[in-house]
Amino acid sequence: MARFYADEQFPLPVVELLRNLGHDVLTVQEAGNANQRIPDEQVLAFAVSQERAILTINRIDFIRLHRRDDQHFGIVVCTIDILAAVKRTAIPHHATFLEWSLNGVDASRDAASLTEV
């Protein structure tokens, strides 16, 4: 499976969904790099040092970085409407979990609710 590094603005419910699908996702927060105003160049450099692709909704800056230097493990730029895409393409119970998460429901406390959807 893929190895990702989710930047600070990337939605945590989507991180959890990717993990549930078997991907290795490290967040900026987990790496101890949150709330430090780290420039995007350094975020990308950290991802490269960890051999991870970036997950971001920061389209403009990361596309600019890619055009300047394409020596990285990938940059996955998502739109803010990730939930709609998940609903169209993912396994239905994953989409439901994501929707609940975005609406403040802690579906992770009741794993049975995911299998009953």
Which domain range does residue 18 map to?
Answer: 1-80
> Both 57 and 86 in a single domain?
no
> Both 66 and 101 in a single domain?
no
What is the chain's length?
Answer: 117
> Both 55 and 99 in a single domain?
no
pTM: 0.69
> Both 47 and 104 in a single domain?
no
Query: What's the rounded Cα separation, in Å, for the pair 50 and 91?
Result: 29
Per-residue pLDDT tens listing for the chain (117 residues): 899 999 998 988 889 889 999 999 999 999 999 889 999 999 999 999 999 999 998 888 998 988 888 889 999 988 766 656 666 665 555 555 555 444 444 444 444 433 332
CB 21 within 8 A of CB 67: no
Q: How many CB atoms lie within 10 A of CB 37?
A: 5
> Both 74 and 91 in a single domain?
no
> Both 63 and 17 in a single domain?
yes
> Both 5 and 39 in a single domain?
yes
Count of domains observed in the chain:
2
> Both 21 and 71 in a single domain?
yes
Query: What's the rounded Cα separation, in Å, for the pair 93 and 32?
Result: 31
Please give the C-alpha separations between residue 101 and each of 10, 16, 42, 92, in angstroms, as whole numbers: 14, 10, 30, 14
